[in-house]
Structure 1
Amino acid sequence: MKVNKKQRELLDILSEKNDEWVNSKDLAEYFNCSTRTIRNYVSTINSELSHVIESSNIGYKLNKNALRKDQQNLSESKLKLNDRKSRIFLEMLKNSSSGIDLFELSEKLFISESTLKNDIQELKQSLPSQTLRITIKGDLVKLEGSEHSKRKYMVDLLYDEGNSVYDELKSSIEQMIEDISLDEIKNIIRSTLSNLNIFINQYSLNNIVLHFAISMERIRQGYILTENDQDILKENLDKQELTLTNEITKGLAEKYNVHFPESEIYKLALQFVGLYDKSLIENNNEQQVEAYVDSTMLSVLRDVLRRAEDIYLIDFEDNDFINKLAIHLQGLFYRSQFQKFNRNSNLLDIKISYPIIYDISVYIASLIQEKIDITFNEDEISFIALHIGSLLEKEKAIDKNYIRVLLIANDYHGIRDQITKKIKNRLGSSVQILSVSDYNDNQFFHYDLLVTTDRKVATTYEGSVFIKPFLTDRDLIKIEKRVDVKKKQHQKDLIDKLIKRFFSESLYFNQIDPSGLMVSDIIKHMNQMMIAEGYVDENFYYSVQRREKMSPTSFPSGIAVPHSVELDALKSGISILTLQEPIIWSDQEIKVVALVAINKKESQKFNKFFELFIEIVSESYNVEQLRKSENCNEFIIKLKMMADELIDKNILI
């Protein structure tokens, strides 16, 4: 069949509409093409298949009866080798007791016997030889080994299908379980967790659904896990984990008439080890975090991050990042006691696309492992990488003033890509778009604006932008306006953060009488206070003096901003001194002095803020208003208001 990818997408869209007519203009907008191209797509499809698309003056719709006759043609495309390997394994797993005939298996997979035999040899080489093996006697092929080993390898194989995403894993599993709905399993698990206010990220949920589906199908086929370690699990598993599993298996048993033996329930309960209350993530409450995370874990993590900062020159001092990573590591500690690890379907992508982030994660994991009895595999290391990547993206968005858009859209086989492309074309580099089909993971996704085609999601999450699947100009204008508002708020939040970081009550000196003081005396006094507060060392004063000799730092607006030639401060900060009367500083009347200390590691962030600060104090009116401040807090409030005004006027940093 010669139907291409675009034409298949057209079939899928019409299939979703359930006998409804779809306007050609809407289809053209979706495919970003002309209505003539849509007519060509329809003509090609109908010539290859038995006139499966009907047309009229109101558009197109799918003739499902005609399509059903050609369904076999749609399913006969060649499977990739890794996908074929998983299918072969699943078929042998179904027939573990009796085996399966080679000819029957080749017919099921629509491949020749010679291709099948070659694939089996490939599969043999990838099997763990100590626990599983494939035997061929005559025309009968059989998989031998323990039930536990078979299930474990099946999960490994599915996750290794060219780094499959969940939709591909779902497709492979559905071929095995046939009439069991993965979406139904997911809904039952998610509902149970939600009722108990337990947080779960999408990666963990997908993994758990996978295990439940496999367990159910194997039970129906009569293959039950042994009870060798049941007593150990019963003794060590938490009550909450067993309660969860019992609730879920009860719901699944009623839905699918499957009886879960105790041995299966205890094994499935392992999937919930390390989960925690939603409030830990949502509230980011220090006391709650400290109550959940062992004090040793938190102490070790902070120490490790400090060591990583020294090597990689990354600022990890972000409480939200530290708390979420600590919570994740505490959950991993509990899971590792059972040698139970979460799988990450994006592992390979992370290792290849973000090697530095992954290397940092390996380093952090190795340091933690030295001090705490905890085990990291590659998947768990990649979850650390997700946390670090989220932090760096957050900083990147701040530094480059990107707005991070989370797009949640039903995936009509490419519709998310079309929406993403249109938004990018309209807004360019001012946005970064993360596109997903399901919102259940706020742990790893840092975003500023949520855009969705799902009305339920839009009404659930305040501030969301609801759009149509076929994006209109009105939708784009709505997104553009909201992005502009978010962009300005983003900058205001950044300024607020930097002002709090670089200004301190201990470095604020108000309404000093300048009588008898020279410029060098003022600098020396401010420098001594910065030494006492740990911002600079004894050499800083001389470096500042060298800078002043090269070019005075006084401004006609009434402020002087002395600073060092080098970025040699121990930490960055600004000391403020206001004067009762102006003094002469290199021919300028000065009323305010801002002594600036810059640490090399913080120079990038500081310099961006410093540009805006100079923009503000270059106006004499602003300097005079700042000088009249009664205290440091009033000074900071005024400075923030001045910064906000510049941002509102689109004078951006």
Structure 2
Amino acid sequence: MNNRQKEIIHMLLNDTRPHLVVRDIALHFNCSEKTIRNDLDEINRDLAQVSNARLVRKPGFGVTLDMTEQDKSEIAAWLLQSTKSKEQETGEERLIAVAYQLLMETKPITIQELADKHYTSKSVIKKDLDSLREWLDKRDLSVVSKQKVGVLIEGKERDKRSALSKLSQLTGEAGQAFIKDRFAAHELDIVTRELKQLELDAQLAFTDEALDNLLIHTLLMIRRTKLKQPIKFSEQEKIIVREKPEFRRIEVFIRKLERLFAVRFPENEAAYLTAHILGGKIRSRARIETAEPGTDTAAETAEARGLAETLIRKMSALTWVDFGKDEVLMEGLRIHLYSTLNRLSYGLTVSNPMLQDIKKMYPYMFDMVISATKELSVGYPFAIPEEEAAYLTLHFQAAVERLSQPAEEMKTVVTVCHMGVGMSQILRSKLERKFPELQVLDSVRKADLVGYLANHTVDFIISTIPLEHVNTPSITVSPLLEAGEVQKITDFIGKLDHGSGHTDHAGSIISSYTQPSLVFPRLAINHRFELIELLANRLAEQGFVEQDYAHQALLRERLSSTTIGGGIAIPHGDPKLIRTSRIAVATLEEPLDWQEEKVSIVFMLALAPQEQEMMKKLFQRLSLLSEQPSTIERMVRAETPEELLGSL
């Protein structure tokens, strides 16, 4: 809101008269009555997002606020928060605020109004809109500018809510905090309490991440329903969902919310929320294992098991690792894929805040999963997105580390991991491999920790989120247990078993697979697809790959970006089209936009299937290279192929 609109609200809150006349307000601000009426329309929309208060206009009397004392305090707190200095607002904060407002608006808003609200220029807002266009386009939403009317986001309500729930992808973890800040504390408390009761009644066991996502979706459902923006759910989808036992639980849950928030939800909202419940990541196999034969849940369980078995076979063939020996992997995949199938069947998306970190830390395993899931998607009306592939990568990476570690007696430790089964398993495997003296008894949710400690004795806790009011010693680490945190844990427990590293480095491996005719320093290229095609065609011209390799490399890139961090990308095509293993290398005069990142160095990989072990080693070395900015800088400065290779 602009300052005039805020002052109008102050007048409505504090004026002792029962009604304010629009003409008097216009005279006070020295503007037209039409301007004030437009202001009142926007105020009414904004009030709907923070309280149950409503503007009431009575012909012949004026305008007043219909509100309770609680509404009044909520509005006052909201105004206080919104009057903080806009000079302190960062570009990221402004971008997410603009995205939120446009996604919430039901009518166009002008660029000037957005600029006034954020105390900035129209040109800055236009740049924000350009950034949002690409992000929204991936979510089947479009920013539409109508001359003399304003800007509006067009698309399905389902896609708008999905985008709102994923604002964290614009600015990191701040996105979900931003959404929660749009609601009053008591609203958050009510929905959180009712979700936990739903979890208990339905005998579910969601991850902390899944519960947080359900909280966001429920809050958005309440707000969007109040704004008269209902979700659309096809009759066929509703028929399927109504047969689920969770649907009856959700109906009870919805009725409670109706009483608590004074709003009436259409049946579509219950169906949509049920789909989210079915697609929620669970920690427990109870719901799956108690499915009665002949029911839909039993069929979905069998389908998830079949999918897990097929994926394990494909991954074993691709990596030459016998994943079938790992029962923990089978169990984890079965539970994860049960939720994945539900999510994708109902068109629900999943966010993965660790996506880029997983791609960077485990590029080889991620690439193998992308290849396996591409084949796996055949026969389904959906493709498995890279966010899901990244979660599956964690399951397989954890299995690799389990299969390579010795079984021995260890100290007792419990982990608290908020990211679900896959992440907790990989954290557990990393801990046990890097610290042979540790025995991880279990991974529990933060909410369940006190009860767990009451029945188990552990030496200390390793948590991915800060813990309060816990007497047992604890240490906080990232879910992927990055290199610096190994030393952190070492200091914490007083000892660390160092594993022997490989003597090979990226330079020696690459040098054995390339030659000056495949090295291109300081290219001037405008698009990543152009560069991929150029490098693949050079490989084909010199007889190392088939002519179709470039096309397949572009298809692979469209599945998931091949950036691994540090300004490095590693595009590659179908291994079946490789005649002789080779690597083409290019550096860029100016960093190139590569979806999520800027890229300065590109390794076009063409390693034949029989060289899987070398490919694993190369992916590991390139991942390490991405953390060596001085080496990358030397490579980018190199003027000749020989100098470039010598700088590795």
TM-score norm. by structure 1 comes to 0.48
Asked which structure has the greater CA Rg, the reply is: 1
TM-score between both structures, scaled by the size of structure 2: 0.48
